[in-house]
């Protein structure tokens, strides 16, 4: 399945809810109230994925909000595992509930986990998210022990957690995980904070006296990966601001209110709700929406996202 710019679209991110059990300062707007009345159902998810798989989608990532607050998340993953053509099932989570659910998720068919973790220090973590970090670290440890591939996503913010960059790099010394530094994008509340550019973090690695080598990213994501000498894990960079990667974009998004969104940072949504129970009509509307996928975002020129939604209302 290709868009009008000849990009092979084989990856979907589905937001299961706008609800979240943390309140990250760069993500959740002041006075935020999640909209749950039209939340996508387990049956809706399955119908959409069956249709997308028939069109060439191979990889699924469930996001939110926080997907683990869904009581039926394990059943949704079990359903997805049964769909012909789906090769990879992942979630993006803040991992607050991971410690309790990791075994069932693994049994259901989960293959990968992206964990958003912006501080290892209890006080800093609480300042950024309003939550506690201790249980999250336990969940990460269990996931690694179970052989699930773990990626830690850290969003460095000046004046908040930029003094922990070395600590996150050092996590890869003894753990076979990817630690990825993501550049802050100016959307929603995040526009009021200052991020750290990827090149500046590479300078930190050099100052640490670490030899690092760029390695091939065996996946299809935008991360640039590096292996540090003597480290079991890897360090990666996702750089939408300083190193635009729109030409590599292979994904679409489905929001928790059943809208197709083909670009994170541009307007344009297609309501899938009226078509979910008609597979032929659903396939046609998805195909037409994908053909209209934007060529690129304009963050680098406008310095603001045109998404029309905050991140929590789209899905990470």
Q: Which two tokens stand for residue 64?
A: 């939110």
Q: What was the pLDDT predicted at 219?
A: 66
Q: What was the pLDDT predicted at 136?
A: 94
**4 within some domain:** no
Reported as type and span, the H/E element at residue 46 is: helix 42-55
The top-scoring range by mean pLDDT among 175-184, 239-248, 288-297 is 175-184
Q: pLDDT (tens digit, 9 = 90+) per residue, 277-293?
A: 999 999 999 999 999 88
pLDDT classification of 242: cutoffs 50, 70, 90: confident
pLDDT at 15 over 90: yes
Reported as type and span, the H/E element at residue 226 is: strand 224-228
Domain that includes residue 22, residue range: 11-313
Domain CATH number, residue 281: 3.20.20.70
- The reply to whether 195 sits in an annotated binding site is no
DSSP structure class, residue 299: H
Q: What was the pLDDT predicted at 298?
A: 64
- The reply to whether 111 sits in an annotated binding site is no
Q: What was the pLDDT predicted at 6?
A: 84
The structural domain count of the chain equals: 1
Tokens 């979630």 found at: 91
pTM of the model as a whole: 0.92
**254 within some domain:** yes
Q: What was the pLDDT predicted at 33?
A: 80
* Cα-only R_g, the chain: 19
- The reply to whether 185 sits in an annotated binding site is yes
- The reply to whether 92 sits in an annotated binding site is yes
The top-scoring range by mean pLDDT among 142-151, 241-250, 304-313 is 142-151
Percent of residues in the chain assigned helix, strand, coil, to nearest 5:
35, 20, 45
Q: CA-CA distances (angstroms) from residue 159 to 50, 113, 119, 194, 247?
A: 45, 28, 12, 8, 33
pLDDT at 265 over 70: yes
For residues 225 and 215, is the Cβ–Cβ distance under 8 A?
A: yes
pLDDT classification of 227: cutoffs 50, 70, 90: very high
Q: How crowded is residue 262: how many other Cβ atoms within 10 Å of its Cβ?
A: 21
- The reply to whether 70 sits in an annotated binding site is no
**164 within some domain:** yes
Q: pLDDT (tens digit, 9 = 90+) per residue, 26-38?
A: 998 888 888 766 8
How large a percentage of the chain has pLDDT more than 70? 95
Q: What was the pLDDT predicted at 159?
A: 96
- The reply to whether 253 sits in an annotated binding site is yes
- The reply to whether 24 sits in an annotated binding site is yes
**179 within some domain:** yes
DSSP structure class, residue 29: P
pLDDT classification of 163: cutoffs 50, 70, 90: very high
Q: What was the pLDDT predicted at 220?
A: 57
- The reply to whether 215 sits in an annotated binding site is no
pLDDT at 194 over 70: yes
**6 within some domain:** no
- The reply to whether 13 sits in an annotated binding site is yes
Q: What was the pLDDT predicted at 117?
A: 97
Q: What was the pLDDT predicted at 47?
A: 98
Backbone angles phi, psi at 177, to 5 degrees: -125, 165
Q: CA dihedral defined by 296, 240, 114, 58, rounded to 10 degrees?
A: 30
**1 within some domain:** no
Q: CA dihedral defined by 113, 115, 121, 125, rounded to 10 degrees?
A: -150
Q: pLDDT (tens digit, 9 = 90+) per residue, 67-124?
A: 999 999 999 999 999 999 999 999 999 999 999 999 999 999 999 999 999 999 999 9
Residue bearing the bigger pLDDT, 62 or 2: 62
- The reply to whether 316 sits in an annotated binding site is no
pLDDT at 192 over 70: yes
Which of 42, 37, 56, 55 shows the shortest CA–CA distance to 14?
Answer: 42
- The reply to whether 112 sits in an annotated binding site is no
Q: Which two tokens stand for residue 239?
A: 């750089």
pLDDT at 267 over 80: no
Cα 115 to the center of its chain, rounded Å: 8
- The reply to whether 249 sits in an annotated binding site is yes
């Amino acid at each position: 399945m290709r868009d009008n710019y000849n990009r092979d679209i084989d990856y979907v991110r589905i937001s299961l809810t706008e609800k979240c059990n943390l309140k990250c300062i760069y993500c959740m707007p002041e006075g935020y109230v999640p909209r749950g009345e039209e939340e996508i159902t387990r049956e809706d998810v399955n119908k959409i994925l069956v249709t997308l798989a028939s069109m060439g989608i191979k990889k699924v990532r469930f996001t939110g909000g926080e997907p683990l607050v869904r009581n039926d998340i394990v059943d949704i993953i079990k359903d997805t595992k049964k769909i012909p053509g789906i090769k990879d099932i992942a979630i993006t989570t803040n991992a607050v509930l991971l410690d309790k659910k990791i075994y069932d998720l693994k049994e259901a068919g989960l293959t990968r986990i992206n964990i958003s973790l912006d501080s290892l220090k209890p006080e800093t973590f609480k300042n950024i998210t309003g939550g506690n970090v201790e249980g999250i670290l336990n969940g990460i440890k269990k996931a690694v022990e179970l052989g699930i591939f773990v990626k830690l996503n850290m969003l460095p913010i000046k004046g908040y957690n930029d003094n922990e960059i070395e600590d996150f790099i050092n996590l890869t010394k003894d753990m076979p995980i990817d630690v990825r530094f993501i550049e802050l994008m100016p959307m929603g509340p995040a526009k009021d904070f200052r991020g750290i550019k990827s090149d500046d973090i590479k300078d930190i690695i050099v100052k640490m006296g670490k030899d690092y080598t760029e390695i091939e990213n065996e996946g299809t994501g935008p991360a640039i990966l590096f292996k540090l000498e003597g480290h079991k894990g890897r360090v990666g960079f996702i750089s939408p601001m300083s190193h635009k990667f729109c030409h590599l974009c292979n994904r679409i998004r489905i929001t928790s209110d059943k809208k197709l969104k083909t670009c994170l940072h541009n307007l344009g949504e297609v309501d899938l709700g009226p078509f979910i129970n008609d597979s032929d009509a659903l396939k046609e509307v998805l195909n037409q929406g994908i053909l209209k996928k934007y060529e690129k975002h304009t963050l680098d020129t406008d310095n603001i996202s045109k998404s029309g939604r905050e991140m929590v209302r789209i899905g990470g």
